Amino acid sequence: MNEGSFSEPAYEALLQEIFSRFPSVQRAGFTVNAYKPGLEGMQAFEEALGHPSRKFRTIHVAGTNGKGSVANMLASALASCGIRTGLYTSPHLVDFRERMLVAGLKFAEEGNVSPEAKKIADASGDTLPSSAKQVSASLIPKEYVFDFLTEWRPYFLEQRLSFFEITTGLAFKWFADSGVEVAVVEVGLGGRLDSTNILEKPSLTIVTTIGLDHCALLGNTLPEIAAEKAGIFKAGVPALVGESQEATAQVFKEKAWMNCPLTFADHVRPSLWHRHAEILKKMDLTAPVQKKNLRTVLAAVDILKNLPPFQALNNAEAVLDGIEHTARNMQFHGRWERLSAQPYVLADIGHNAHALQYNFAQLEAMVQSGQFSSLIIVYGIMADKDLDAILPLMPRDATYIFTTPDTPRALPAGEILRRFNEFRGGASTRAFFSSSVRQAVQMAIQLAQNLGGPASRSASAENLAPTLIYIGGSTFVVAEAVPIFR
């Protein structure tokens, strides 16, 4: 372990030491070493840090799917309205620091805005054209991470904190030291026993969707899972549920009974919903499910803008500008993200049946419309996911390359292929497997070239629709694919 002043080697060595001593769920799964349900350890750590989460307002976001997109969209909207905003999410794709960032407005150089005009804008709220301002988001500095981990490492060891408890404390302390006005905080798992649930009185709690995932930890039925996620509700705090379902609606109503105003986003018409088609066309988050997430975010804006600290959200154009540029503003990746134009490659971290039903249906529609001539799917999955529920959703007219990302949690690609062939009733001539994501991606690109898409750019292929390559099934698969194209 390297101690002392900051340097890149010392930083990397300290991170590796923390990763190995305090394994994350992302790497080790829900083992006793990585997952610690309950709030006692986090509450004690928060107290030792001086209760940083009390120094800013919070918006707490839970849900089976969509919580990352909703949290990022809402944070981008807040920042676009001039509110200094922290964002805490998980997991990360490439850099550990992706989990926490601070976003706010900056004045674009090309706007040629004078110091006097900036003062007027600061005083009046919005006298400058939006083109003169843009959201700037910063990852937590490596130096801050190094100093924090170095200072608190003895405490981590003595108290046996989990990786998520450590990162949650780090995020809250940095937000407090950075002077954020509000932090949008994504739940790690569930809600009731999640480390983030030490937040005493958020301004708003949100549950996006409920699906069957992490059943061994959260329950085997939708009502049981809903009850865990509704554990973030607080007395006197507005609660928003993105999707009403017959199996879960009553659970949310019962959990919200203690003076907790409850709204179902799909039961109301947000004030900006009349512009949703226009917004969706402009959004840089383009997954088919974003329409549902957009409604949740707009419903959240309607609730928040009536609270004094959030009146800046009454600036509709700033709200929409933030939402439309979420991926750019918040450095948000892996959600129906285009990694390449030639060949055309999409990547998405959707990993359970609830999410993949939308993704696979959209992929089939893109091919059937003639936009693409064929579909290649690079797919990997964690061993704890319900592959049996996902296999029926997989497009039938596609070529598959199953792969094994570099984590002990992964289901071996050969096993995925075996179960795929078993489900399809015989060995497929359009399904293969590769032991690494990089090799699988290279195979997909070669196949696309052989199919005559624009990757080959031969004269005979010039007028053919391109082949679509989709990479997904797991955060780990996408995380290993992204650097290949960057």
Give the count of beta carbons closer than 10 Å to the beta carbon of residue 446: 12
What are the DSSP calls for 388-442, one per residue? HHHGGGS-SS-EEEEE--SSTTBPPHHHHHHHHHHHHTS--TTEEEESSHHHHHH
Q: Are residues 68 and 190 in the same domain?
A: yes
Has residue 176 got a pLDDT over 60?
Answer: yes
Q: Are residues 263 and 353 in the same domain?
A: no
Instruction: Provide the phi-psi class of 82: left if phi over 0, else alpha when psi is between -120 and 50, else beta.
Output: left
Is residue 17 included in any domain, yes or no?
Answer: yes
Q: Are residues 157 and 302 in the same domain?
A: yes
Query: pLDDT digit string (tens) for 95-145?
Result: 989 999 999 998 654 444 444 334 434 433 444 444 557 899 999 999 999
Round the average pLDDT of the chain to a whole number and report it.
Answer: 87
Residues 372 and 366 sit within 8 Å (Cβ to Cβ): yes
CA distance 284 to 149: 35
Q: Are residues 375 and 278 in the same domain?
A: no
Q: Are residues 323 and 341 in the same domain?
A: no
Is residue 111 included in any domain, yes or no?
Answer: yes
Q: Are residues 322 and 190 in the same domain?
A: yes
Check which CATH number belongs to the domain holding 406 and give it: 3.90.190.20
CA distance 182 to 313: 13
Which pLDDT value is given to residue 216? 59
Q: Are residues 308 and 453 in the same domain?
A: no
Kindly state the percentage of the chain with pLDDT values over 90. 66
Is residue 263 included in any domain, yes or no?
Answer: yes
Residues 451 and 460 sit within 8 Å (Cβ to Cβ): no
Is residue 3 included in any domain, yes or no?
Answer: no
Has residue 196 got a pLDDT over 70?
Answer: yes
Which pLDDT value is given to residue 132? 58
Q: Are residues 175 and 244 in the same domain?
A: yes
Structure-model confidence comparison of residues 323 and 352, the more confident one: 323
Domain count, the chain: 2
Kindly state the percentage of the chain with pLDDT values over 70. 86
Task: Point out the domain boundary residue: 330, 346, 381.
Answer: 330
Q: How far apart are the first and last CA of the chain?
A: 31
Lowest mean pLDDT among 140-149, 168-177, 219-228, 342-351: 219-228
Q: Are residues 316 and 347 in the same domain?
A: no
pTM score, whole prediction: 0.84
Task: Point out the domain boundary residue: 282, 308, 330.
Answer: 330
The arithmetic mean of pLDDT across residues 384-392, rounded, is 93
Residues 164 and 90 sit within 8 Å (Cβ to Cβ): yes
Query: pLDDT digit string (tens) for 17-27?
Result: 888 887 555 45
Which pLDDT value is given to residue 121? 41
Structure-model confidence comparison of residues 148 and 123, the more confident one: 148
Query: pLDDT digit string (tens) for 275-316?
Result: 999 999 999 998 878 999 999 999 999 999 999 899 999 999
| Enclosing domain of residue 476 | 337-485
Has residue 475 got a pLDDT over 50?
Answer: yes
Has residue 245 got a pLDDT over 80?
Answer: yes
Which pLDDT value is given to residue 23? 59
Which pLDDT value is given to residue 125? 42
CA distance 94 to 359: 23
Q: Which of 231, 183, 148, 190 is CA-nearest to residue 53? A: 183
Has residue 224 got a pLDDT over 60?
Answer: yes
Has residue 274 got a pLDDT over 50?
Answer: yes
- Residue 36: which pLDDT band, with cuts at 50, 70 and 90? low
Q: Are residues 353 and 481 in the same domain?
A: yes
Antiparallel, parallel or unpaired: β 344-348 and 431-434: unpaired
Please give the single-letter amino acid code of residue 146. Answer: F
The arithmetic mean of pLDDT across residues 85-98, rounded, is 92
For residue 250, the 8-state DSSP code is H
Has residue 1 got a pLDDT over 80?
Answer: no
Which pLDDT value is given to residue 211? 77
Q: Are residues 424 and 288 in the same domain?
A: no
Q: Are residues 250 and 348 in the same domain?
A: no
Is residue 190 included in any domain, yes or no?
Answer: yes
CA distance 64 to 59: 17
Which pLDDT value is given to residue 20? 83
Lowest mean pLDDT among 23-37, 207-221, 305-319: 23-37
Give the count of beta carbons closer than 10 Å to the beta carbon of residue 269: 13
Residues 6+ apart with CB under 8 A from 187: 60, 61, 62, 63, 67, 194, 196, 197, 229, 232
Which pLDDT value is given to residue 329? 95
CA distance 281 to 449: 30
Task: Point out the domain boundary residue: 313, 330, 347.
Answer: 330
Check which CATH number belongs to the domain holding 180 and give it: 3.40.1190.10
Q: Which of 233, 368, 244 is CA-nearest to residue 299? A: 244
The arithmetic mean of pLDDT across residues 218-226, rounded, is 82
Residues 329 and 79 sit within 8 Å (Cβ to Cβ): yes
Tokens representing 215? 């059943």
